[in-house]
Each structure stands twice: as structure tokens, then as C-alpha cells.
């Protein structure tokens, strides 16, 4: 959805750019200096109109983007954790004790400060569901997800780093107590249930 809206804004700018060109601004050739001044004035007006129209197109696309995100329904769990489905997968679900591969990005303070981001790393992060290796809010949601799902979680402080937060360390920023964490989470691998791996390795 975000990509479509950005392309819409770009198309609006390109369409307007084609409408405003030096040829259209100086279509009428004149010989007198007075006529030249008139053409220059027209060109400046066309330039101003170009920027106004382009700005309006981009603004409209951004408003559409905000509306689209606002329309996405957040599901709130009894624990206080809520999630929005960003991409729906069609693979199997993970069960407690199974190994899963995930990619994620975590933010604090409404996305202003990035805590971690492994979407572009060579390898995903491997963890066993229910092992307690991740914050409680993520551990709660993992068994609900399917392979291929990408969810954006909003995790309250008591399901994240608690009242103590986390002190800063090398490469890791400080997390204040009771901080709400935004967790962009994607399940990218489920080695025990991926049919291609089962056929390759064999299932004894």
C-alpha cells in the first residue's frame, strides 16, 4: 500500500513536469523585447503553477497514505499487546518449542528511536517459540503467526522491558522504564514445517 501511494505521488509530479516544459513556456517566438518580457513572465507563471500542482499531488498522496494506515484494524489482546497485520502469509503456524526464523525492527517512543533492525542482515534471527529469549509481547504473538506473516506490534511496558527498562550499552540505546515498544515482526522460516526442507532432508 505504501509503495502504491508513493508511486501515485511520483506519477503526479511526472505528469505535471511533462505539462510544464520550456517549449510550452516559450511556445510563441517574438522579435521585440517587449514580447520577450511578456514570454518570460508567462514562463515564470507556468513554473509557479508547476510547483503548486506538484505539491498538491504529493500532499494528496500522503493524505491517502495516512488514511490507509488509519483504516487498518488493530487487534488488541487481553495482555495489552496489539497488532496490525501488515502482510498475510499462508504457511503453517509455529508451535511452542519449534524453531522459527524471524526478522524484525524494534522502536521506542512511537518510532522515533530505533532499537534494532535485522531486516537487511544476511541471516534472520532464530529462536524457539516459548523459550523466553524475546520480550513477553513477542513471545505471546509468535504462536499466533503463520509462516510469511508480517505484523506490527505495539507492546506495553509490562510486556516489554518493564519498569526498570534497559541501560545503554555498546551499540544498544537506553530504554526507559515502562516504554511502549513498536515491533515490526516477520516470520520468514519454520524449518520443521517447511515442505521443501522436509523433502530435502527427509522426515524420519
- Are β-strands 75-76 and 99-108 bridged in parallel, bridged antiparallel, or unpaired? unpaired
Give 79-134 pLDDT, tens digit per residue.
999 999 999 999 999 999 999 999 999 999 766 788 999 999 999 999 999 999 99
Mean pLDDT of 16-31: 45
Please report, to the nearest 10 degrees, the dihedral formed by the alpha carbons of residues 109, 112, 116, 121 taken in order: 150
Distance CA 168, CA 150 (A): 28
**Distance between CA atoms of residues 83 and 62, nearest Å:** 23
Lowest-pLDDT range of 1-5, 55-59, 61-65, 147-151:
61-65
Considering the chain, what is the average pLDDT of its residues? 74
Q: Which residues have C-beta within 8 Å of that of residue 38, sequence separation ≥ 6?
A: 30
Backbone angles phi, psi at 109, to 5 degrees: 60, 55
**DSSP state at residue 119:** S
CA end-to-end distance (rounded Å), the chain: 43
Averaged pLDDT for residues 163-174: 86
pTM strictly above 0.95? no
**Phi-psi domain of 126 (left: phi exceeds 0; alpha: psi -120 through 50; beta: other):** beta
90: Cα separation from own chain's centroid: 20
Q: Per the structure block, which three cell numbers stand in for 200? A: 530435502
Task: State the pLDDT confidence band at 11, using cuts at 50, 70 and 90.
Answer: very low
Amino acid at each position: 500500500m505504501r509503495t502504491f501511494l508513493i508511486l501515485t505521488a511520483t506519477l503526479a509530479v511526472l505528469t505535471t513536469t511533462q505539462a510544464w516544459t520550456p517549449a510550452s513556456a516559450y511556445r510563441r517566438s517574438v522579435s521585440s523585447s517587449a514580447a520577450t518580457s511578456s514570454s518570460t513572465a508567462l514562463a515564470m507563471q507556468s513554473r509557479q503553477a508547476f510547483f503548486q500542482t506538484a505539491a498538491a499531488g504529493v500532499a494528496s498522496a500522503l493524505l491517502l497514505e495516512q488514511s490507509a494506515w488509519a483504516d487498518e484494524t488493530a487487534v488488541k489482546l487481553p495482555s495489552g499487546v496489539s497488532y496490525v497485520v501488515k502482510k498475510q502469509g499462508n504457511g503453517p503456524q509455529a508451535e511452542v518449542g519449534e524453531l522459527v526464523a524471524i526478522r524484525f525492527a524494534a522502536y521506542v517512543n512511537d518510532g522515533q528511536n530505533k532499537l534494532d533492525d535485522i531486516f537487511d542482515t544476511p541471516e534472520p534471527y532464530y529462536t524457539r517459540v516459548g523459550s523466553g529469549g524475546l520480550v513477553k509481547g513477542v513471545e505471546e504473538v509468535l504462536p499466533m503467526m503463520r509462516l510469511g506473516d508480517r505484523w506490527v506490534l505495539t507492546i506495553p511496558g509490562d510486556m516489554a522491558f518493564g519498569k526498570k527498562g534497559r541501560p545503554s550499552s555498546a551499540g544498544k540505546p537506553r530504554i526507559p522504564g515502562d516504554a511502549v515498544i513498536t515491533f515490526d515482526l516477520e516470520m520468514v522460516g519454520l524449518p520443521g514445517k517447511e515442505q521443501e526442507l522436509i523433502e530435502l532432508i527427509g522426515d524420519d
